[in-house]
Amino acid sequence: MKISIIGTGYVGLVSAVGLAELGHQVWAVNRTPAKIEKLKRGELIYYEPGLRPILKRNVKNGRLHFTSNFSEAINHGDFVFICVGTPSRRNGSADLSQVKEVAEQIVSAAKKNLIVIDKSTVPVGTGRLVKKILSRNHHKFEVVSCPEFLREGKAVPDFFHGDRVVVGAEKKEVAQKVIKIFDKLKCVKMITDLETAEMIKYASNAFLATKISFINEIANVCEKLGANVDEVARGMGYDRRINHYFLKAGIGYGGSCFPKDVKALKRIAVDINYNFRLLKAVTEVNNQQRRLAVKKAKELLGDLNHKTIAVLGLAFKDSTDDIRESAAIDIIKWLNQAGAVVKAYDPEAVGNAQSILKNKAKFCDTPYEAVAQSQLLIVATEWPQFKNLDWTRVKRLMKQKNIIDGKNILDRTKMEKLGFKYIGIGR
């Protein structure tokens, strides 16, 4: 099938590459010429494990094309995927300006009938709004919701081996045409109405965020009672009604999806005069959880002024360079405000973090450079390589042997045997 993708961010690029790999002819649009040139050479414009070889293969075999010419792209295809950002406004609602802009561009440029598919995460009612905009063009358009369920850092396996494809449309026959795009994927294919499809994405992310905030509350209780939250979560997870996923205590969730989508769903509830009390608590817990690292640092070191603190991890999670809503970024800002000297390291996210933090931290080339002469080490991102550091060397380099494990990735017994004062979350 001939498919156009508008936007080559995390969702758009993975979708474009994945659909080309499934055998479709895909044209992807980005307004930045420099990014288009990189993509044409098969080079990534952000870090995502496993994506580059599939990108290069499909550029080389001619199934995947990149352009900054919007009209050329959309008139190539029969299906147009809208994959643009919907960031939070100040009141928490989703900013739909990019979605509306794409719809307006389709009105101006479309020379044929099209099925327009919202892949972006959008509030209920957006599909009908897009259709209203498109009605100004004399061609026939159908608007479909097909929400994405991709995790940054694991987007490639999520695309090819996901749990489900959800398609919402006014007409079942239109939804079935879209479902056929994903025929080769072995997963549940669900057809529903527009509004339900739009709601599924928000409900899914809000529920996962709730699980994280819940286990963090349990962690805080465990600390006061002497219980181990890791073992509590393990015992809970064996119950099939609960499962083990998203029961990992730490310094809270971040990223481009959970915070934004929880805020948006809360705002949707406000707009229909519904008091969504649970989501208010989820956000409150998450906000307080990321302050724990600074609170524990003060308990360990007292006044933080002129204290040297190493922060390992800048991305909001491992396997990505994305720092949006990263707990590590907030922690560094708060440490800086308290007068601490912060040294930071991340395998992928240093460049992005520098643009935000500027002179609030010294950015290091290795974790060992970061810990040298530090009085405290904070693990802020769950990169697997942090578990495998030469901890004897780390101990030798540090001025004081204090660790706050904000992601509970280290072996407490091992750290204490080495002579570290170890503090986890809920342990």
Q: Could you give the angle at the alpha carbon of 8 between the alpha carbons of 7 and 13, nearest 5°?
A: 130
pLDDT value at residue 256: 87
Q: In what order do the strands lie in the sheet with 188-192?
A: 64-67, 25-29, 2-6, 79-82, 114-118, 141-145, 164-168, 188-192
Q: Residue 76: CA atoms inside 13 Å, Cβ hemisphere, count?
A: 23
d(CA 60, CA 305): 55
Tell me, rounded to whole angstroms, the distance of Cα 139 from its chain centroid: 36
Q: Is 198 left (phi over 0), alpha (psi -120 to 50) or beta?
A: alpha
pLDDT value at residue 237: 97
Which phi and psi angles does 176 have, rounded to 5°?
Answer: -65, -35
Whether residue 184 is found in the same domain as residue 59? yes
The average confidence (pLDDT) of the chain is 96
Among 12, 5, 82, 14, smallest CA distance to 48 is for 14
Whether residue 149 is found in the same domain as residue 243? no
Q: Is 186 left (phi over 0), alpha (psi -120 to 50) or beta?
A: beta
d(CA 160, CA 186): 8
Query: Which amino acid is it at 175?
Result: A
Whether residue 350 is found in the same domain as residue 414? yes
**pLDDT 10s digits, 267-307:** 999 999 999 999 999 999 999 999 999 999 999 999 999 99
Residue 371 tokens read as: 């810990």
Name the residue range of residue 101's domain. Answer: 2-192
Whether residue 74 is found in the same domain as residue 164? yes
Q: Please, are residues 368 and 394 in contact by the beta-carbon 8 Å criterion?
A: yes
- Torsion on CA atoms 189, 195, 200, 203, rounded to nearest 10: -170
Q: Please, are residues 201 and 165 in contact by the beta-carbon 8 Å criterion?
A: no
**pLDDT 10s digits, 390-408:** 999 999 999 999 999 999 9
Whether residue 274 is found in the same domain as residue 400? no
Residue 217 tokens read as: 């509350």
Query: Which amino acid is it at 296?
Result: K
Average pLDDT over residues 116-131: 96
Whether residue 26 is found in the same domain as residue 158? yes
Residue 155 tokens read as: 């987007």
Confidence tier at 101 by pLDDT (50, 70, 90): very high
Confidence tier at 139 by pLDDT (50, 70, 90): very high
Catalytic residue, candidates 83, 222, 257, 364: 257
d(CA 126, CA 420): 53
Boundary residue ending a domain (237, 259, 288): 288
Q: Please, are residues 156 and 129 in contact by the beta-carbon 8 Å criterion?
A: no
Q: 3-class DSSP state for residue 188?
A: strand
Whether residue 36 is found in the same domain as residue 185? yes
Whether residue 33 is found in the same domain as residue 155? yes
Average pLDDT over residues 78-102: 96
Confidence tier at 98 by pLDDT (50, 70, 90): very high
Residue 361 tokens read as: 């931290």
pTM: 0.93
Neighbours of 270 (CB within 10 A): 14
Q: Reply yes or no on whether the pLDDT at 76 is more than 90.
A: no
Confidence tier at 344 by pLDDT (50, 70, 90): very high
Domain count, the chain: 3
pLDDT value at residue 269: 96
Q: What is the CATH number of the domain that holds 282?
A: 1.10.1040.10
Boundary residue ending a domain (125, 157, 192): 192
Q: What is the CATH number of the domain that holds 103?
A: 3.40.50.720
DSSP H or E run through 118: strand 114-118
Residue 163 tokens read as: 């749990």
d(CA 426, CA 220): 5
Whether residue 318 is found in the same domain as residue 233? no
Boundary residue ending a domain (288, 318, 339): 288
Query: Which amino acid is it at 383?
Result: W
Does 364 qualify as catalytic in the annotation? no
Average pLDDT over residues 64-88: 94
pLDDT value at residue 179: 98
Q: Reply yes or no on whether the pLDDT at 77 is more than 90.
A: no
For 334-397, strand residue ranges (E) read 341-345, 362-363, 376-379
Neighbours of 336 (CB within 10 A): 17
Whether residue 106 is found in the same domain as residue 143? yes
Q: 3-class DSSP state for residue 83?
A: coil
Whether residue 324 is found in the same domain as residue 393? yes
Question: Quick one: DSSP state of residue 94?
Answer: B
Whether residue 327 is found in the same domain as residue 359? yes
